[in-house]
């Protein structure tokens, strides 16, 4: 699963340990950074598909003193009814989830991504990475439900459709996988990018339909 691609949204990506799922590895950064980071690149090198490694945005702001842990000094003073504080808490947990994914701790990462979304329900990259974590754990129904939720918010998110492609390939639905992959490419997925290297798409790449489509794509 993968990218926050190369438009401003595509920035850095971290390929997780071996699973082909795309995770946005950009850690949320500060408002100014976030503006430039319209969408995290999930495609740069799939370091294992973590979406958002530079998402230090609010993660950094959570640091009161020397710690970024919201439980540390100053956290008790946060106004949890304040939407901005909720957003920052969401980004903090999202970044923690990315760290865990990078360490191969998908189960723990799931918990962090869920917490991130409890605080920040509109954080698209958290849905992407949560679905990637579920796929690594082979919880395919949960991955699908997570992507469907994001689809109601951002139906044209290229990472959404890329992860759909991975999910369908992993569950043997090659026609649906190729359809989703084509849509992701149409929305800006870099070519060739991870679609020719992602382990999650290995079974799809073996199909005649993929080979014919990719051949035509490469000729343009």
Following DSSP, what letter does each residue of 136-167 receive, concatenated?
A: HTT-HHHHHHHHHHHHHH-TT-HHHHHHHHHH
At 78 the pLDDT is 59
Helix (H/G/I), strand (E/B), else coil: 28:
strand
Q: Is residue 40 predicted with pLDDT exceeding 90?
A: no
Q: Is residue 173 predicted with pLDDT exceeding 90?
A: yes
pLDDT band of residue 82 (cuts 50, 70, 90) is confident
pLDDT digits 0-9 by tens, 106-162: 999 999 999 999 999 999 999 999 999 999 999 999 999 999 999 999 999 999 999
At 192 the pLDDT is 86
Token pair for 99: 């760290």
pLDDT band of residue 80 (cuts 50, 70, 90) is low
**Can you tell me the mean pLDDT for 196-204?**
96
pLDDT band of residue 193 (cuts 50, 70, 90) is confident
At 36 the pLDDT is 32
Domain boundaries, the chain: 13-159
At 24 the pLDDT is 57
Average pLDDT score over the chain: 76
171 backbone φψ class: left, alpha, beta (φ>0; ψ -120 to 50) = alpha
Identify whether the C-beta of residue 179 lies closer than 8 Å to the C-beta of residue 167: no
52-61, 79-88, 148-157, 201-210 — which is least confidently predicted? 52-61
Which H or E element spans position 14? strand 13-14
Tell which wins on pLDDT, 218 or 50: 218
Q: How far apart are CA 158 and CA 195, in angstroms?
A: 13
Surface-to-core class of residue 62, CB atoms within 10 Å of its CB (0-12 exposed, 13-18 middle, 19+ buried):
buried
Identify whether the C-beta of residue 134 lies closer than 8 Å to the C-beta of residue 110: yes
13-17, 54-58, 159-163 — which is least confidently predicted? 13-17
Q: How far apart are CA 188 and CA 19, in angstroms?
A: 22
pLDDT band of residue 191 (cuts 50, 70, 90) is confident
Identify whether the C-beta of residue 147 lies closer than 8 Å to the C-beta of residue 127: yes
**Which numeric CATH code is attached to 13-159?**
1.25.40.10
**Can you tell me the mean pLDDT for 202-219?**
94
Helix (H/G/I), strand (E/B), else coil: 135:
helix
The length of the chain, given as a count of residues: 220
**Can you tell me the mean pLDDT for 26-53?**
38
Q: Is residue 77 predicted with pLDDT exceeding 50?
A: yes
Percent with pLDDT over 90 in the chain: 57
């Amino acid at each position: 699963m993968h990218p926050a691609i190369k438009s401003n949204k595509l920035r850095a990506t971290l390929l997780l340990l071996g699973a082909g799922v795309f995770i946005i590895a950009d850690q949320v950064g500060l408002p100014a950074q976030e503006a430039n980071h319209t969408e995290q690149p999930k495609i740069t090198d799939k370091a294992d598909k973590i979406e958002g490694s530079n998402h230090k945005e609010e993660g950094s702001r959570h640091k009161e003193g020397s710690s970024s842990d919201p439980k540390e000094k100053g956290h008790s003073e946060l106004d949890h009814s304040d939407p901005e504080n909720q957003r920052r808490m969401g980004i903090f947990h999202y970044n923690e989830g990315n760290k865990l994914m990078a360490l191969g701790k998908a189960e723990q990462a799931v918990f962090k991504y869920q917490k991130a979304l409890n605080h920040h329900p509109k954080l698209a990259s958290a849905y992407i990475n949560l679905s990637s974590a579920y796929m690594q754990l082979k919880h395919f129904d949960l991955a699908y439900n997570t992507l469907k939720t994001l689809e109601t918010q951002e139906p044209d998110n290229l990472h959404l459709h890329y992860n759909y492609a991975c999910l369908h390939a992993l569950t043997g639905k090659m026609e649906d996988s190729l359809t989703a992959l084509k849509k992701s490419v149409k929305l800006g997925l870099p070519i060739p990018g991870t679609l020719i290297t992602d382990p999650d798409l290995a079974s799809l790449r073996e199909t005649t339909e993929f080979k014919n489509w990719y051949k035509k794509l490469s000729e343009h």
